Amino acid sequence: MLYTVDGKHITYLSMREIEKLLPMSRFTRIHKSYIVSIEKIKSIDGNNVILSPSIELPIGISFKDSFIQLINSRTLRSGRKVQ
């Protein structure tokens, strides 16, 4: 099932096939069952990605390291040292 701003769409593609079709500069796999738009991520709470107040998805253990690296590479950081 694909969820978009226009609604739900049924597909018979595998997650791997969908992953290959989507631009990975805009989408990331966070779980064996979930690929999300990076632009739609509102926050990260522990092992969950928050997309909206009503949509919270788990981060799979095998995807966590690469997801955290992606988020860190896109996060603005201050040059100040924390004391």
Residue 9 domain flag: yes
Distances (CA, A) of 54 to 19, 27, 42, 78: 24, 20, 12, 31
Residue 80 domain flag: no
Residue 78 domain flag: no
Residue 54 domain flag: yes
Q: Whole-prediction pTM value?
A: 0.84
Write out pLDDT tens, residues 31-83.
999 999 999 999 999 999 999 999 999 999 999 999 999 998 988 777 777 66
Residue 82 domain flag: no
Range of the domain at 18: 2-73
Token look-up 């099932």 returns: 1
Q: Give me the number of domains the chain comprises.
A: 1
Residue 81 domain flag: no
